[in-house]
Structure 1
Amino acid sequence: MEHKIFSLVPVYREFKPHLLMFMVQLGYTFLYFITEASFNHGMSPFVYVTYRHAVAGLVMFPFAYFLERKTRPKLTFALFMEIFVLSLIGISLSLNMYFASLNYTSPTFIASVVNTIAALTFIIAVLLRFEVLDLRNPRGIAKVLGTLITLAGLLIMTLYKGPKLRNLWRPLIHIQEKSAATNENWLKGSLLTVLSCVTWSIWYIMQAATLKRYPAQLSLGTWMSFVGAAQSTVFTVIVEHNPSAWFIGFNIDLWSTLYGGIVVAGLIVYILLWCTEKKGPVFVTMFNPLSTILVAILAYFILGEKLYLGSIIGAFSVIIGLYLLLWGKGGEREACMDKSPCSIEDPECRT
């Protein structure tokens, strides 16, 4: 028996990143539904983003303070302003639009659209000349084709709803239906989701540049959580005129806030950083479509969510395009790892 246990240890070590990434996607899947339930219960998405990142900052602070106190660079005014802009783009704008769109669309739609972030990041990086595009190389062609297929899928999901698929049986768990007025705002919600993905892509590129000058990931995440919560507070005060929206009881609103702050913005972010360090960013991104599949299965078969033909066609297109793009990017990383020595100026070698 002991021999069998010891023989499984190397297997566990080899597949530990895979298991952790599967758990991450399960965590994201649950996030979509617990936040939708909270918003259906009446919680303001803007208040949710504010409280979530205040909780995340408080949870991450002790780890950042003690684990990085010897390696954390001095925070200058210029760096703080950079963090301020990062927080504005990555939290205040991205997440407020992202969660507000959940009021008008569905978890399945949002989980599908999030897969376009890789393609949008690639386009922005090419436009800013951070990314080299070689159309003479099959990998370069794959990146372009993958990006075009992903964007085509995004357009299908956004502009074409299509016929509604019939549910095979009564839902096992009943969720509150969105009102007809909300369903009429599908295009508005779609645009909010797309815009949040665009700002997210810009945030990824800017974050990579900031980490060169402030290479303390936990501290940077803590600062962004606190600054983002403060910015979101100001924004919420402006747009949310109901003072009672700030009060949440011992109900789904509290659980969704704690889950988003502790599990998603805290534990999951730490797992992603660990997996990125061990296996690289391409490996981490490859698991993103898993959440889309899990959300679709749970939403359709268990919760009885209405699925539309346009969303299914678009989601498959996005996933195919994503893997083409990742295949192209993965070849670059392999080529970079074969260099001897690896150039510090090459962004693929640093990731």
Structure 2
Amino acid sequence: MWGTTVTAVMVSTEFLEVGLNTVNKTAMNRGLSDFVLVLYSNILAIFILAPCIFIFYRKRTPPLLTWSSICKIFLLGVLSYAGQICTYIGLRYGSPTLASAMADLSPAFTFIFSIISRMEKLDLGIKSSQAKSLGTLVSISGALVVTLYKGLPLTSAPSTNRLLDELLLIPQSNWIIGGLFLASHSVIFAIILNVQTWIIRGYPAEMIVTLICSIFVSILSSLVSLIVEKDPNAWRLGLNMELIAVVYTAAFAVAFRSVVHKWALRRKGPIYVAMFKPLGMVIALAMGVTLLGDTLYLGSLLGAAIIAIGFYAVIWGQSQEERLVEDAEIYDSERSSAKDPLLPDRGLVV
């Protein structure tokens, strides 16, 4: 039951994330500063999360917050700030499609860091590990096919490969700068997933961790923004696309998505969460064809099928590992219940 629920929530999150980069890119083109976006969105997220936490823990006691947990969350805040800045600077110099393409690198980096940090066990002699390893590679390959290979048109519309078309419009210097920042975000995002898993398994309170992390990001962002952003007009927001971008980023990216990721990480692990990034490319492709009338090409359809196969392999491997854990717990429980009933009284024997 939980496996299906987590998957459904993660897919829904990817649907909401498809439009995030487009909204932010539009707002940046109209003058929104990336440093101001990070600051305002995290401050607004604090006011969104605080009442939610009050309601959620009104009749229950939250876990005890220790200094060790606070230090770990501060590390997460530093990484989160770096990741957000890299994303928005990369988006300013690049494009939403380039951002989606670079995000497809996240599963590979997450897989590497998860093995190094021992968040995931790699035993190629076990079918579940084989499925997760091959599934990760297959999904990344599928994402590259969607991004770089066009092929024959399957539907008629005056559109071309969106990434290649956008790269022709972006100056080469800007494309390189944007690509480097977006690739850096993929590396930071992979580290963040592992750090979040490390934190949330020791302190299972997703909303509280997200709130404290947003506070740390707001403090760091205010210090940096006051030094970097000298234009007073950059701090002003009107009732326009800039305000929409701040609210959308705060409510979805900083608050909702962060809580959902932590919740999924606690139950499934970092590789599982990272595997939804290539799926976002398929969702964007499907919405472009159905809603915007984009041309469906053979390369896009082939890449989407490859991503689906790789995604299913990872999900299957994850379910096999969870089944092994459940079987082990049942076996231990049966052994405990089958012990000699006189065993507790042995302390009375002289």
TM norm structure 2? 0.73
How do 1:273-292 and structure 2 match up within 5 A? 280=268, 288-292=277-281
- Mean CA deviation greater in 59-68 or 14-23: 14-23
Match of 2:87 among 83, 93, 98: 98
Aligned ranges for residues 10-159 of structure 1 at < 5 Å?
Answer: 20-68=9-57, 70-76=61-67, 78-89=68-79, 91-149=80-138
CA contact (8 A) 1:98 1:192 kept: yes
Matches of 1:218 and 1:233 in 2, distance apart?
22
Distance 1:40 1:301, change over 3 A: farther
Q: 1:149 to 1:248 in 2, by over 3 A?
A: same
Distance 1:146 1:153 in 2: 10
Question: Following TM superposition, by how much is the alpha carbon of 1:256 offset from its aligned partner in structure 2, in angstroms?
Answer: 1.2
Give the aligned residue type for 1:231: L
**Counterparts in 2 of 1:74 and 1:136: CA distance versus 1, 3 Å:** closer
Q: How does 1:112-261 map to 2 (within 5 A)?
A: 112-149=101-138, 168-169=156-157, 180=169, 182=171, 184-261=173-250
Please say which of residues 59-68 and 36-45 is displaced more in the overlay: 59-68
Residues 108-127 of structure 1: per-residue CA shift (max 9 Å, x gap):
33234434433322211212
Higher mean displacement: 286-295 or 124-133: 286-295
Rounded Cα–Cα distance in structure 2 between residues aligned with 1:154 and 1:15 = 24
Is the Cα–Cα contact under 8 Å of residues 157 and 310 in structure 1 kept in the other structure?
yes
Counterpart residue type for residue 103 of structure 1: R
Identity %: 26
CA distance 1:214–1:139, shift in 2 (3 Å): closer
Unaligned runs of 5+ in 1: 1-12, 172-176, 344-351
Q: CA 1:128–1:285 in 2, change beyond 3 Å: closer, same or farther?
A: closer
334-343 vs 55-64, which moves further = 334-343
The DSSP-based 3-state class of the residue aligned with 1:185 is: helix
Shift in CA distance, 254/22, structure 1 to aligned 2, threshold 3 Å: same
Question: How far apart, in 2, do the equivalents of 1:126 and 1:271 lie?
Answer: 23
> Structure 1 residues 124-133 or 307-316, which shifts more?
307-316
Unaligned runs of 5+ in 2: 160-165, 333-350
Equivalent residue, structure 2, for 1:8: none
Mapped pair 1:339 → 2:328: yes
| 8 A Cα contact 1:119 1:322, kept in partner | no
Which of 25-34 and 104-113 deviates more? Answer: 104-113
Q: TM-score, normalised by structure 1?
A: 0.73
Change (3 A) 1:341 1:216: same
Q: Which moved more, 1:18-27 or 1:100-109?
A: 18-27
- In structure 2, what is the Cα distance between the partners aligned to 1:168 and 1:280? 41
Secondary structure of 1:99's counterpart equals helix
Q: Which position in structure 2 is the counterpart of 1:10?
A: none
CA contact (8 A) 1:167 1:304 kept: no
Query: Residue type matched to 2:63 in 1?
Result: R
Hey, what does 2:255 align to over in structure 1?
A: 266
How far apart are residue 258 of structure 1 and its match? 0.7
Tell which deviates more after alignment, 279-288 or 333-342.
Answer: 279-288
- Native 8 Å contact 1:64 1:218 kept in 2: yes
CA contact (8 A) 2:264 2:273 kept: yes
Moved more, 238-247 or 295-304: 295-304
Greater alpha carbon shift after TM alignment, 118-127 vs 216-225: 118-127
Question: Cα offset for 1:87?
Answer: 0.6
The AA in structure 2 aligned to 1:25 is: E
